[in-house]
A and B are shown apart, each in its own frame.
Chain A
Amino acid sequence: MKILIPTPLRQYAAKKDAVDVAANTVGEALTSLTSQYSDLRRHLYTDDGKLRAFVNVYLNDEDIRYLQKENTPVRDGDTLSIVPSIAGGCRCPR
């Protein structure tokens, strides 16, 4: 399967925009990715090993949070997209 790497994280993945991995689950795929490119780990995970809240992971067109999260099964031909969130606004939190 293929993992699409967003622009800001490519510097930690040998400048690749996509990485092919062999995996049975989303978790295995991400582990394979961070094993190949260890600098990616701290950008994807918190210190206690959880995916950072602003890191969205989509299996094809579905958010893994609404599937089986990192236990979601994957197949050859699937595409995993890593997409940091985009938000903001002119109001500051009070």
Chain B
Amino acid sequence: MLTIRQSELEALRRHGEETYPHECCGVMLGRMEGTERVVETVSRAGNTRVDSPHNRYNIDPRELVRIQRESRGRGLDIVGFYHSHPDHPARWSQTDLAEAHWVGCSYVITSVEHGRAALTNSFALEGTGEEDKHFVDEGIRVLTAEAAD
């Protein structure tokens, strides 16, 4: 299960609309609570795949190092990542699985249809390593402003 405030969910969906028809990407920061992930905030990242930005994304590791260091200073962990699929379903692709290495984290995908964010789904990367990693559908618990207070 992924828990996220409405404002943060809207922020990552809006990011996908802003970068349309290119894929957006970013990092979700928060806390691990058992096997669940609680998102406190999302951090936008640039898509370095300038050769094919409409159907590929890559986060510069240097940017990730910075985000990891700054989040640690705030007592937060990297609990997942998000990206968009422009005019493509909000389902993980074989490319998404092959390139996913953060076992135990959530991978959120938003389909952006004709520039408007449509469905957002989350998938937990489970397994013990590269050999048996796999995505599992997971629910998204959205906290409204009242519930988050």
Contacts and interface: CB of A to CB of B under 8 A. Distances in A.
A56 B55 CA distance: 23
B17 interface: no
Contacts of B57: 87-89
Interface of B: 23, 25, 27, 32, 45, 49, 52, 55-59, 61-62, 64-66, 68-69, 72, 77-79, 81, 83, 85-86, 88, 92-96, 98-105, 107, 129-130
A42 B96 CA distance: 22
B95 A92 contact: yes
Interface residues of A, number: 29
A73 B33 CA distance: 37
B93 A89 contact: yes
B62 A8 contact: no
B113 to A, nearest CB: 12
A84 B99 CA distance: 10
Contacts of A86: 25, 27, 45, 58-59, 64, 81, 99, 101-102
A78 interface: no
Contacts of B27: 86
11 contacts: A4-B69, A8-B104, A17-B72, A56-B61, A56-B65, A79-B69, A84-B101, A85-B58, A85-B101, A88-B57, A89-B96
